[in-house]
Amino acid sequence: MYLRITKRRNADGTEVRYYQLAENTWDAKRGCAVAKVVYNFGRADQLDADQLRRLAASILRVVSSDTVSSGGAPAGGADDLRIRDSWSYGGVHVLEELWKEVGIGAVLTGRAKKAGTKQPFERALFAMVANRALEPYSKLYCWEQWLREEVFLPSAAPLALQHLYRAMDFLEEHKAEVEKAVFFRMADLMNADVDLIFYDTTSLHFEVDEEDELERKRDDRKYDPLRKRGYSKNGREDAPQIVVGLAVTRDGLPVRSWVFSGDTADVTTVEKVKADLKGWRLGRCMFVGDAGMNSEENRRRLALGNGKYILGSRLRAGDEVTTDVLARQGRYQEVKDNLRVKEVIVGDGERRRRYVVCHNPDEEARQCAHRAKLLAEVGAEIEAMRARPDRKHSKRTCALLTSGRFGRYLRETKGGKLRIDRAAVAEAERYDGKWVITSNDDTLTAEDLALGYKQLLRVEDCWRQLKSGLHMRPVRHFRPWRIQAHVTISVLALLLERIAEIRAGDTWRNVAAKLGQIKVVEYDRAGARVLQTTEVREEAAALLQQLGVPLPPRFHAIEPTPAT
């Protein structure tokens, strides 16, 4: 590292010199060393020479044990060092490098330029995505506390709170184009397998009493009410909610997200999902969904345009799956120790339907043991009620009959007594360790279909990460476009996390913990104020190499100490 002097000649013939702190780095493409500017001091004629001397002395004092003298006096001792502050830096550094590598920043900057705005929306959105991945709180906390007190992100210093909210509006307006561009960049970068696209939905409830009733307008766009009561997948039927859809690749990399009103049924979301993904050139894009997606209308829509699908089937619906597919005799094919498959064809010609019955012996044993435990408990309850001298137990009888745990295995006699329903027990045993899937793709074997459907668990992993790690709920917004933008920001954070997890071979929680040891320290010494990255330990350096992220710069700023 050295002091570099550059010159510029003005139109009147005068020459201006500039001082820069620079270092030589090797450029593999050019095959030579090139100068990299670390810090610009500014014009030489506007700098105080004595301040530069003190600065040089302080730098040498930090990196060398030799005493540096100027005019026979020491430049400063250990007592001259004053630590002013420190901030977390490792996580932000990695996320920003991945943000650039995936091209999210470039896409947002390009959209802003096309829209004719110079607002710092890209910086605002990165700040919110990084906050969601590292310390998920509200947008107000992100701006008011996190960016100013907890992390080192100088590029976000000019941001005002209004930039964050306006950036959310900007993101929602360009959501489709941004997601599409980011997906293609991510797919090339990660060599993602897009042969199978997995889709599922979940619900997010709001801590409010009333549903949204009126549509809202923003500019010329109208937004239907989103917060509605409907079927809740987290047991909060009492609260208004939204329905969130997510499509992911086989590796759990997010493809695209959707937000629907809370009273939307899962089966009605498929048509929009397929229409939005049309033209994305996903290769042989096969839609994989759970039993909630499986309806005759959905299968018809998915099959349009030679579309292919793998869908779970309900076992107890009383349709042909219950009466024909599960009852069909045949030998299972061993796939692995905990999976057996059997193919069943129902119908002929155009009405032909292909099913695969899957069986997990380990899961069958687990379910059988669980049911035996439940039956022992409810049997003890029945005996306890029978032993009562007054034989008055109508309230307890009603409680057991309506119980979600015991009710399915009980029946009530004409005399009002409870008995274990052996027919219900035998019917439940029929489904132990089994699930059924259906597909219209005849090129895949029964084994391929079974293993492909099991990958749907990747979506469940994403939901857990979004809700538990990224704290997508609570949603502190009420405007529909802000709610949609909040979900998109959470999914972008999930994308960066999943890339880091795949490269590191570890969970994001562990990755972030290791990166937390990298900090930036601000200190004063010998007349200079220095912003410096702490020493990167061997463990953290190895992790950065796995992630494909360069080491952070050692110095961020070296300036004369401000006069007090």
471 φ, ψ to 5°?
50, 55
Q: Which residue has the tokens 């061997």?
A: 538
pLDDT tens for residues 225-261? 999 999 888 888 889 999 999 988 888 889 899 999 9
pLDDT at 250: 81
Higher pLDDT, 123 or 310: 123
Higher pLDDT, 347 or 60: 347
Mean pLDDT of 61-77: 45
Rg (alpha carbons) of the chain, rounded to whole number: 32
What does DSSP assign to residue 24?
A: E
pLDDT at 154: 94
Angle made by CA atoms 387, 388, 390, in degrees to the nearest 5: 140
pLDDT tens for residues 288-297? 888 877 888 8
> From the centroid of its chain, how far is CA 242?
18
pLDDT tens for residues 377-430? 989 988 887 766 655 667 788 888 888 888 899 988 887 788 899 999 999 999
Angle made by CA atoms 106, 467, 87, in degrees to the nearest 5: 60
Put the strands of the sheet holding 241-248 in their side by side order. Answer: 254-261, 241-248, 196-205, 286-289, 308-313, 434-439, 353-359, 339-346, 333-336
Mean pLDDT of 301-308: 76
Residue 104 has pLDDT above 90, yes or no: yes
Residue 342 has pLDDT above 80, yes or no: yes
Computed over every residue of the chain, the mean pLDDT equals 86
Q: How far apart are CA 540 and CA 557, in angstroms?
A: 23
Q: Are 543 and 506 in contact (CB under 8 A)?
A: no
pLDDT tens for residues 163-175? 999 999 999 999 9
pLDDT at 283: 57
Q: How far apart are CA 288 and CA 363, in angstroms?
A: 22
Q: Structure tokens of 458?
A: 């990747």
Higher pLDDT, 60 or 459: 459
pLDDT tens for residues 123-145? 999 999 999 999 998 999 999 99
| Amino acid letter, 319 | D
The pLDDT confidence band at residue 95, using thresholds 50, 70 and 90, is very high
Examine residue 474 and say whether the peptide bond preceding it is cis (omega within 30 degrees of 0): yes
Residue 201 has pLDDT above 90, yes or no: no
pLDDT tens for residues 461-472? 888 889 888 899
Q: Are 490 and 469 in contact (CB under 8 A)?
A: no
Q: How far apart are CA 514 and CA 519, in angstroms?
A: 11
Q: Which residue has the tokens 């570890």?
A: 506
pLDDT tens for residues 541-552? 999 999 999 999
Nearest alpha-carbon partner for 447 in 313, 338, 345, 334? 334
> Residue 254: beta bridge partners?
248
Residue 40 has pLDDT above 50, yes or no: yes
The pLDDT confidence band at residue 7, using thresholds 50, 70 and 90, is confident
pTM of the model: 0.75
Angle made by CA atoms 331, 334, 336, in degrees to the nearest 5: 160
Nearest alpha-carbon partner for 171 in 499, 472, 487, 497? 487
Helix (H, G, I), strand (E, B) or coil at 80: helix
Dihedral, 27, 31, 35, 37 alpha carbons, nearest 10: -10
pLDDT at 281: 67
Contacts 24+ apart (CB under 8 A), 180-184: 180/256, 180/280, 181/103, 181/107, 182/102, 182/103, 182/104, 182/107, 182/492, 182/495, 183/255, 183/256, 183/280
| Amino acid letter, 43 | R
Nearest alpha-carbon partner for 36 in 45, 49, 28, 27? 27
Q: Which residue has the tokens 């009405």?
A: 351
Q: How far apart are CA 344 and CA 348, in angstroms?
A: 12
51 φ, ψ to 5°?
-65, -40
